[in-house]
Amino acid sequence: MKDDQQPISRKAFMEELERYRKGSVTRRHFLGVTGLGTAMAVMGGSLPRMARAQDIGNRVVLATWPNYHDPADFDAFTDKTGAYTQVNVFGSNEEMLAKIQAGGSGWDVFVPTNYAIPTYVDAGLIEPLDLSKIPNYDPASYDPRFAEAGTIDGTVYGVPKNWGTTGIAFNSSKTGGVVDSWKTFFDGARDQFDGRVMVHDYQLTTIGNALVYHGFSFNSVDPAELAKAEELLIDVKPHLYAISSDYQPSMRNGDAWLTMCWTGDGKQMNTDMPEIGFALGKEGGEIWSDYYAIPKDAPHKDAAYALINFLLDPEVNAREALAHGYPVADARTNALLPQELLDDPIIYPAAEALSPLEFGAAVTLTDPNRAELMARFKSA
Protein backbone atom coordinates (compact mmCIF):
# COMPACT_ATOMS: atom_id res chain seq x y z
CA MET A 1 0.00 0.00 0.00
CA LYS A 2 2.72 2.42 0.93
CA ASP A 3 4.29 2.09 -2.46
CA ASP A 4 0.99 2.51 -4.17
CA GLN A 5 0.57 5.92 -2.60
CA GLN A 6 3.52 7.06 -4.61
CA PRO A 7 2.71 8.62 -7.92
CA ILE A 8 4.96 6.17 -9.69
CA SER A 9 7.41 3.53 -8.68
CA ARG A 10 11.06 3.70 -9.62
CA LYS A 11 10.67 0.65 -11.76
CA ALA A 12 7.66 2.00 -13.56
CA PHE A 13 9.47 5.26 -14.04
CA MET A 14 12.44 3.55 -15.65
CA GLU A 15 10.11 1.56 -17.86
CA GLU A 16 8.39 4.71 -18.97
CA LEU A 17 11.71 6.30 -19.62
CA GLU A 18 12.76 3.37 -21.76
CA ARG A 19 9.56 3.57 -23.72
CA TYR A 20 9.99 7.27 -24.17
CA ARG A 21 13.49 6.79 -25.46
CA LYS A 22 12.24 4.28 -27.95
CA GLY A 23 9.74 6.86 -29.04
CA SER A 24 6.67 4.88 -28.15
CA VAL A 25 5.28 7.58 -25.92
CA THR A 26 5.20 11.29 -26.38
CA ARG A 27 6.65 13.90 -24.11
CA ARG A 28 3.24 14.78 -22.85
CA HIS A 29 2.66 11.27 -21.86
CA PHE A 30 6.02 10.88 -20.23
CA LEU A 31 5.60 13.92 -18.09
CA GLY A 32 2.06 13.01 -17.32
CA VAL A 33 3.08 9.65 -16.10
CA THR A 34 6.14 10.62 -14.19
CA GLY A 35 5.60 14.17 -13.17
CA LEU A 36 2.45 14.71 -11.23
CA GLY A 37 1.01 13.45 -8.03
CA THR A 38 -1.93 11.67 -9.51
CA ALA A 39 0.13 9.83 -12.03
CA MET A 40 -0.20 6.22 -12.96
CA ALA A 41 1.69 3.31 -11.66
CA VAL A 42 1.60 -0.37 -11.93
CA MET A 43 -1.19 -0.81 -9.50
CA GLY A 44 -2.22 -3.30 -6.97
CA GLY A 45 -0.46 -5.83 -4.83
CA SER A 46 1.80 -8.33 -6.39
CA LEU A 47 0.16 -11.23 -4.57
CA PRO A 48 -2.96 -12.77 -6.04
CA ARG A 49 -5.72 -12.21 -3.51
CA MET A 50 -8.15 -14.83 -2.28
CA ALA A 51 -10.42 -16.17 -4.94
CA ARG A 52 -13.68 -14.26 -5.01
CA ALA A 53 -17.14 -15.62 -5.64
CA GLN A 54 -16.87 -14.57 -9.25
CA ASP A 55 -13.40 -15.55 -10.48
CA ILE A 56 -12.16 -13.05 -13.08
CA GLY A 57 -8.49 -13.97 -12.85
CA ASN A 58 -5.83 -11.93 -11.09
CA ARG A 59 -5.01 -9.35 -13.69
CA VAL A 60 -6.50 -6.74 -15.98
CA VAL A 61 -4.57 -4.51 -18.37
CA LEU A 62 -5.74 -0.96 -18.95
CA ALA A 63 -4.49 1.35 -21.70
CA THR A 64 -5.39 4.94 -20.85
CA TRP A 65 -4.25 8.57 -20.83
CA PRO A 66 -1.94 10.29 -18.39
CA ASN A 67 -3.32 11.69 -15.10
CA TYR A 68 -6.63 10.08 -15.77
CA HIS A 69 -7.33 7.89 -12.71
CA ASP A 70 -7.12 7.76 -8.95
CA PRO A 71 -4.66 4.98 -8.09
CA ALA A 72 -6.60 4.24 -4.90
CA ASP A 73 -9.54 3.07 -7.00
CA PHE A 74 -7.41 0.36 -8.57
CA ASP A 75 -6.47 -0.83 -5.09
CA ALA A 76 -10.12 -0.90 -4.19
CA PHE A 77 -10.80 -2.93 -7.32
CA THR A 78 -8.10 -5.41 -6.38
CA ASP A 79 -9.50 -5.72 -2.86
CA LYS A 80 -12.90 -6.38 -4.28
CA THR A 81 -12.10 -8.78 -7.10
CA GLY A 82 -8.59 -10.09 -6.56
CA ALA A 83 -7.48 -8.74 -9.92
CA TYR A 84 -4.81 -6.07 -10.05
CA THR A 85 -4.80 -3.45 -12.73
CA GLN A 86 -1.79 -2.98 -14.92
CA VAL A 87 -1.84 0.47 -16.45
CA ASN A 88 -0.27 1.51 -19.76
CA VAL A 89 -0.42 5.17 -20.61
CA PHE A 90 -0.47 6.74 -24.07
CA GLY A 91 -0.15 10.14 -25.66
CA SER A 92 -2.46 9.99 -28.62
CA ASN A 93 -5.24 7.98 -30.17
CA GLU A 94 -3.02 7.42 -33.16
CA GLU A 95 -0.46 5.79 -30.99
CA MET A 96 -3.01 3.63 -29.25
CA LEU A 97 -4.42 2.61 -32.62
CA ALA A 98 -0.95 1.79 -33.91
CA LYS A 99 -0.42 -0.56 -30.96
CA ILE A 100 -3.73 -2.38 -31.31
CA GLN A 101 -3.31 -2.50 -35.08
CA ALA A 102 0.06 -4.15 -34.68
CA GLY A 103 -1.67 -6.90 -32.68
CA GLY A 104 -0.86 -8.61 -29.42
CA SER A 105 -1.24 -5.48 -27.31
CA GLY A 106 -2.47 -7.64 -24.41
CA TRP A 107 -4.85 -4.89 -23.34
CA ASP A 108 -8.20 -5.67 -21.77
CA VAL A 109 -9.61 -2.19 -21.50
CA PHE A 110 -8.65 0.93 -23.43
CA VAL A 111 -9.93 4.47 -23.60
CA PRO A 112 -10.49 5.64 -27.20
CA THR A 113 -11.74 9.14 -27.90
CA ASN A 114 -15.00 9.56 -29.79
CA TYR A 115 -13.48 10.08 -33.24
CA ALA A 116 -11.30 6.98 -32.99
CA ILE A 117 -14.11 4.50 -32.42
CA PRO A 118 -15.36 4.21 -36.03
CA THR A 119 -11.85 3.32 -37.16
CA TYR A 120 -11.61 0.56 -34.59
CA VAL A 121 -15.01 -0.73 -35.68
CA ASP A 122 -14.10 -0.63 -39.38
CA ALA A 123 -10.89 -2.50 -38.67
CA GLY A 124 -12.69 -5.03 -36.48
CA LEU A 125 -10.42 -4.28 -33.56
CA ILE A 126 -13.03 -3.51 -30.95
CA GLU A 127 -15.45 -5.78 -29.06
CA PRO A 128 -19.21 -5.06 -29.04
CA LEU A 129 -20.09 -4.54 -25.38
CA ASP A 130 -22.45 -6.82 -23.48
CA LEU A 131 -24.12 -4.14 -21.37
CA SER A 132 -25.63 -6.78 -19.07
CA LYS A 133 -22.12 -7.19 -17.69
CA ILE A 134 -21.89 -3.43 -16.97
CA PRO A 135 -24.95 -2.88 -14.72
CA ASN A 136 -23.44 0.37 -13.43
CA TYR A 137 -23.82 1.90 -16.89
CA ASP A 138 -27.19 3.60 -16.96
CA PRO A 139 -27.62 5.26 -20.39
CA ALA A 140 -30.55 7.27 -19.11
CA SER A 141 -28.39 9.22 -16.65
CA TYR A 142 -25.84 10.21 -19.30
CA ASP A 143 -25.84 13.32 -21.43
CA PRO A 144 -26.36 11.73 -24.86
CA ARG A 145 -24.00 14.27 -26.41
CA PHE A 146 -21.10 12.52 -24.67
CA ALA A 147 -22.40 8.98 -25.03
CA GLU A 148 -23.60 8.67 -28.58
CA ALA A 149 -20.21 8.23 -30.23
CA GLY A 150 -19.85 4.93 -28.38
CA THR A 151 -22.68 3.42 -30.40
CA ILE A 152 -22.25 2.66 -34.07
CA ASP A 153 -25.10 1.27 -36.18
CA GLY A 154 -27.00 0.39 -33.01
CA THR A 155 -24.14 -1.57 -31.45
CA VAL A 156 -22.54 -0.25 -28.28
CA TYR A 157 -18.73 -0.36 -28.46
CA GLY A 158 -17.87 2.14 -25.78
CA VAL A 159 -19.34 3.57 -22.60
CA PRO A 160 -18.49 7.18 -21.65
CA LYS A 161 -15.63 7.89 -19.30
CA ASN A 162 -15.05 11.66 -19.32
CA TRP A 163 -15.32 14.54 -21.67
CA GLY A 164 -13.46 17.75 -22.13
CA THR A 165 -12.41 20.50 -24.48
CA THR A 166 -9.34 21.89 -26.18
CA GLY A 167 -9.10 25.58 -25.57
CA ILE A 168 -6.55 28.28 -24.91
CA ALA A 169 -4.48 28.69 -21.78
CA PHE A 170 -3.10 32.18 -21.35
CA ASN A 171 -0.91 33.87 -18.80
CA SER A 172 -3.02 36.95 -18.13
CA SER A 173 -0.18 38.82 -16.47
CA LYS A 174 1.62 38.74 -19.83
CA THR A 175 -1.25 38.77 -22.28
CA GLY A 176 -2.99 41.56 -20.43
CA GLY A 177 -6.28 39.75 -20.28
CA VAL A 178 -8.36 36.83 -21.45
CA VAL A 179 -7.54 35.30 -24.80
CA ASP A 180 -10.62 33.51 -26.00
CA SER A 181 -10.40 33.43 -29.76
CA TRP A 182 -8.25 31.64 -32.26
CA LYS A 183 -8.04 34.88 -34.18
CA THR A 184 -6.22 36.55 -31.30
CA PHE A 185 -4.26 33.37 -30.75
CA PHE A 186 -2.80 33.11 -34.25
CA ASP A 187 -2.64 36.83 -35.02
CA GLY A 188 -1.15 37.60 -31.63
CA ALA A 189 1.45 34.91 -32.22
CA ARG A 190 2.78 36.98 -35.11
CA ASP A 191 2.42 40.24 -33.28
CA GLN A 192 2.27 41.08 -29.60
CA PHE A 193 2.89 37.49 -28.45
CA ASP A 194 5.74 36.85 -30.87
CA GLY A 195 7.85 33.95 -29.63
CA ARG A 196 5.49 33.19 -26.75
CA VAL A 197 2.88 30.93 -28.27
CA MET A 198 2.73 27.14 -28.30
CA VAL A 199 0.65 24.81 -30.43
CA HIS A 200 0.18 21.09 -29.93
CA ASP A 201 2.43 18.58 -31.56
CA TYR A 202 -0.81 16.97 -32.68
CA GLN A 203 -2.45 17.32 -36.05
CA LEU A 204 -6.07 17.12 -34.89
CA THR A 205 -5.99 20.18 -32.66
CA THR A 206 -3.28 22.23 -34.35
CA ILE A 207 -4.71 21.89 -37.83
CA GLY A 208 -8.27 21.90 -36.49
CA ASN A 209 -7.83 25.22 -34.71
CA ALA A 210 -6.06 26.73 -37.70
CA LEU A 211 -9.11 25.72 -39.75
CA VAL A 212 -11.38 27.28 -37.17
CA TYR A 213 -9.35 30.52 -37.43
CA HIS A 214 -10.37 30.69 -41.07
CA GLY A 215 -13.97 29.89 -40.20
CA PHE A 216 -13.78 26.35 -41.51
CA SER A 217 -14.82 23.18 -39.71
CA PHE A 218 -12.42 21.86 -37.10
CA ASN A 219 -12.65 18.54 -38.94
CA SER A 220 -12.24 19.69 -42.50
CA VAL A 221 -10.35 17.51 -44.94
CA ASP A 222 -11.20 19.71 -47.87
CA PRO A 223 -7.92 20.33 -49.72
CA ALA A 224 -8.58 24.00 -50.33
CA GLU A 225 -9.44 24.62 -46.70
CA LEU A 226 -6.47 22.59 -45.52
CA ALA A 227 -4.28 24.68 -47.81
CA LYS A 228 -5.45 27.82 -46.09
CA ALA A 229 -4.78 26.28 -42.69
CA GLU A 230 -1.32 25.25 -43.84
CA GLU A 231 -0.59 28.73 -45.08
CA LEU A 232 -1.50 30.09 -41.67
CA LEU A 233 0.53 27.54 -39.75
CA ILE A 234 3.64 27.97 -41.89
CA ASP A 235 3.35 31.71 -41.60
CA VAL A 236 3.04 31.47 -37.83
CA LYS A 237 5.72 28.88 -37.31
CA PRO A 238 8.78 31.16 -37.09
CA HIS A 239 6.96 33.13 -34.41
CA LEU A 240 6.05 30.14 -32.25
CA TYR A 241 7.77 29.37 -29.00
CA ALA A 242 7.37 25.65 -29.58
CA ILE A 243 5.35 22.94 -31.24
CA SER A 244 4.78 20.69 -28.28
CA SER A 245 2.04 19.01 -26.34
CA ASP A 246 4.13 19.38 -23.20
CA TYR A 247 3.23 22.98 -22.57
CA GLN A 248 2.82 23.03 -18.80
CA PRO A 249 6.52 23.59 -17.89
CA SER A 250 6.94 26.42 -20.38
CA MET A 251 3.68 28.07 -19.29
CA ARG A 252 4.52 27.71 -15.65
CA ASN A 253 8.00 29.26 -15.90
CA GLY A 254 6.72 32.15 -18.00
CA ASP A 255 8.59 31.40 -21.22
CA ALA A 256 5.31 30.74 -23.02
CA TRP A 257 2.30 33.02 -22.57
CA LEU A 258 -0.26 31.27 -24.68
CA THR A 259 -0.92 27.69 -25.63
CA MET A 260 -3.46 25.28 -26.97
CA CYS A 261 -4.59 23.41 -23.91
CA TRP A 262 -6.70 20.48 -22.80
CA THR A 263 -9.23 21.02 -20.03
CA GLY A 264 -7.42 19.10 -17.32
CA ASP A 265 -4.08 20.83 -17.94
CA GLY A 266 -5.84 24.16 -17.89
CA LYS A 267 -7.42 23.35 -14.55
CA GLN A 268 -4.15 22.11 -13.07
CA MET A 269 -2.22 25.24 -14.09
CA ASN A 270 -5.03 27.53 -12.99
CA THR A 271 -5.17 25.90 -9.60
CA ASP A 272 -1.44 26.41 -9.01
CA MET A 273 -1.08 29.77 -10.76
CA PRO A 274 -4.32 31.75 -10.86
CA GLU A 275 -2.87 34.15 -13.43
CA ILE A 276 -2.96 31.31 -15.95
CA GLY A 277 -6.47 31.19 -17.27
CA PHE A 278 -8.28 28.87 -19.63
CA ALA A 279 -10.80 29.85 -22.25
CA LEU A 280 -12.54 28.24 -25.17
CA GLY A 281 -12.12 29.74 -28.60
CA LYS A 282 -15.31 31.58 -29.35
CA GLU A 283 -15.09 30.66 -33.04
CA GLY A 284 -15.12 26.98 -32.10
CA GLY A 285 -12.65 24.25 -31.44
CA GLU A 286 -12.71 20.77 -30.09
CA ILE A 287 -14.95 19.04 -27.63
CA TRP A 288 -14.26 15.43 -26.99
CA SER A 289 -15.48 12.43 -25.08
CA ASP A 290 -13.51 9.39 -24.01
CA TYR A 291 -14.98 5.91 -23.79
CA TYR A 292 -14.14 2.69 -22.05
CA ALA A 293 -13.88 -0.07 -24.63
CA ILE A 294 -12.55 -3.61 -24.96
CA PRO A 295 -10.21 -4.73 -27.74
CA LYS A 296 -11.31 -7.76 -29.76
CA ASP A 297 -8.26 -9.71 -28.68
CA ALA A 298 -8.47 -8.79 -24.97
CA PRO A 299 -7.03 -11.72 -22.99
CA HIS A 300 -9.08 -11.14 -19.80
CA LYS A 301 -12.53 -10.14 -20.96
CA ASP A 302 -14.33 -10.97 -17.69
CA ALA A 303 -11.90 -8.83 -15.80
CA ALA A 304 -12.33 -6.08 -18.40
CA TYR A 305 -16.08 -5.96 -17.85
CA ALA A 306 -15.58 -6.06 -14.08
CA LEU A 307 -13.14 -3.14 -14.20
CA ILE A 308 -15.33 -0.98 -16.43
CA ASN A 309 -18.34 -1.72 -14.28
CA PHE A 310 -16.39 -0.87 -11.14
CA LEU A 311 -15.09 2.43 -12.51
CA LEU A 312 -18.58 3.46 -13.62
CA ASP A 313 -19.99 3.02 -10.12
CA PRO A 314 -21.04 6.65 -9.41
CA GLU A 315 -19.13 6.72 -6.13
CA VAL A 316 -15.96 5.47 -7.74
CA ASN A 317 -16.47 7.72 -10.75
CA ALA A 318 -16.84 10.74 -8.49
CA ARG A 319 -13.62 9.90 -6.72
CA GLU A 320 -11.95 9.59 -10.12
CA ALA A 321 -13.27 12.96 -11.22
CA LEU A 322 -12.00 14.59 -8.03
CA ALA A 323 -8.59 13.15 -8.74
CA HIS A 324 -8.19 14.06 -12.43
CA GLY A 325 -10.41 17.11 -12.81
CA TYR A 326 -12.16 16.16 -16.05
CA PRO A 327 -15.92 16.55 -16.32
CA VAL A 328 -18.26 13.56 -16.22
CA ALA A 329 -21.38 13.06 -18.32
CA ASP A 330 -23.14 10.90 -15.72
CA ALA A 331 -25.80 12.79 -13.72
CA ARG A 332 -25.60 10.28 -10.85
CA THR A 333 -21.89 10.97 -10.51
CA ASN A 334 -22.25 14.71 -10.78
CA ALA A 335 -24.79 14.58 -7.96
CA LEU A 336 -21.98 13.34 -5.72
CA LEU A 337 -19.47 16.03 -6.73
CA PRO A 338 -18.98 19.24 -4.75
CA GLN A 339 -20.85 22.24 -6.07
CA GLU A 340 -17.73 24.38 -6.63
CA LEU A 341 -16.42 21.79 -9.04
CA LEU A 342 -19.65 21.80 -10.98
CA ASP A 343 -19.57 25.59 -11.03
CA ASP A 344 -15.95 25.77 -12.22
CA PRO A 345 -16.05 27.44 -15.63
CA ILE A 346 -12.93 25.60 -16.76
CA ILE A 347 -14.32 22.16 -16.04
CA TYR A 348 -17.95 22.77 -16.79
CA PRO A 349 -18.08 25.70 -19.19
CA ALA A 350 -21.35 27.44 -19.89
CA ALA A 351 -23.47 25.76 -22.51
CA GLU A 352 -23.12 28.69 -24.94
CA ALA A 353 -19.33 28.44 -24.77
CA LEU A 354 -19.59 24.79 -25.72
CA SER A 355 -22.04 25.23 -28.53
CA PRO A 356 -19.60 26.25 -31.28
CA LEU A 357 -17.27 23.36 -30.44
CA GLU A 358 -17.09 20.28 -32.61
CA PHE A 359 -16.37 16.69 -31.85
CA GLY A 360 -13.38 15.43 -33.77
CA ALA A 361 -14.41 13.41 -36.80
CA ALA A 362 -13.17 9.92 -37.53
CA VAL A 363 -11.80 10.98 -40.89
CA THR A 364 -9.24 13.32 -39.31
CA LEU A 365 -7.58 10.40 -37.63
CA THR A 366 -6.85 8.57 -40.82
CA ASP A 367 -6.66 11.33 -43.40
CA PRO A 368 -3.16 11.20 -44.89
CA ASN A 369 -3.35 14.79 -46.09
CA ARG A 370 -3.65 16.16 -42.58
CA ALA A 371 -0.68 14.03 -41.51
CA GLU A 372 1.40 15.33 -44.39
CA LEU A 373 0.34 18.88 -43.67
CA MET A 374 1.51 18.45 -40.09
CA ALA A 375 4.86 17.10 -41.28
CA ARG A 376 5.34 20.03 -43.64
CA PHE A 377 4.46 22.43 -40.84
CA LYS A 378 6.93 20.85 -38.43
CA SER A 379 9.76 20.67 -40.90
CA ALA A 380 9.18 24.08 -42.47
Partner 1 sequence: MAMTRSRARALLLTPAGLWYAAMLLLPLAVVLIFSFGERSQIGGYAPGFTLEQYANLPARFAAFRNTLTLAPLGTLASLLIAYPLAYYLAVKVTPKWKTMLLVLVIVPFWTSILIRSYAWIFLLGGKGIPAFLAMFGLEDVRLLNTPFAVLVGIVYGYLPLMVFPIYVALEKLDKRLLEAAADLGTPPWRAFLQITLPLSMPGVLTGSMLVFILLMGEFLIPSILGGGKVFFVGNALVDLFLQSRNWPFGSAVAVGLVLVMLVTVGLYTRAAKRFGAGRDDAALM
The residues of the shown chain that bind partner 1, judged by CB under 8 A, are: 17, 20-21, 23-24, 27, 30, 92, 94-95, 97-98, 101-102, 119, 122-123, 195, 198, 201-203, 237, 240-244, 249-250, 253-255, 366, 368, 371-372, 374-376, 378-380
Amino acid at 355: S
For partner 1, give the closer residue by CB, 20 or 77.
20
Residues 6+ apart with CB under 8 A from 309: 133, 134, 135, 136, 137
| Nearest distance in Å: CB 125, partner 1 | 9
| Nearest distance in Å: CB 309, partner 1 | 29
For partner 1, give the closer residue by CB, 204 or 311.
204
Determine the Cα angle at 303 with ends 297 and 306, to 5°.
Answer: 125
| Nearest distance in Å: CB 244, partner 1 | 5
Amino acid at 338: P
| Nearest distance in Å: CB 321, partner 1 | 29
For partner 1, give the closer residue by CB, 242 or 323.
242
HSE value, Cβ hemisphere, 13 Å, CA-based, for 196: 20
For partner 1, give the closer residue by CB, 257 or 305.
257
**Is the separation of the CB atoms in 219 and 358 below 8 Å?**
yes
**Is the separation of the CB atoms in 271 and 169 below 8 Å?**
no
| Nearest distance in Å: CB 84, partner 1 | 27
| Nearest distance in Å: CB 50, partner 1 | 40
Q: Map residue 146 onto helix, strand or coil.
A: helix
For partner 1, give the closer residue by CB, 5 or 192.
192
Distance CA 142, CA 140 (A): 6
| Nearest distance in Å: CB 303, partner 1 | 28
34-71 burial code (b ≥16 CB/10 A, e <16): beeebbbbbbbeeeeeeeeeeebbbbbbbbbbbbbbbb
For partner 1, give the closer residue by CB, 81 or 244.
244
For partner 1, give the closer residue by CB, 236 or 329.
236
**Is the separation of the CB atoms in 307 and 78 below 8 Å?**
no
- 93-101, Cβ contacts within 8 angstroms, sequence gap of 24 or more: 93/365, 94/365, 95/24, 95/25, 95/26, 96/63, 97/365, 99/63, 100/125, 100/295, 101/125
What DSSP string describes 316-352? Answer: HHHHHHHHH-----BHHHHTTS-HHHHH-TTTS--HH
Residues 6+ apart with CB under 8 A from 238: none
Decide the pairing of beta strands 357-359 and 285-292. parallel
For partner 1, give the closer residue by CB, 23 or 154.
23
| Nearest distance in Å: CB 371, partner 1 | 3
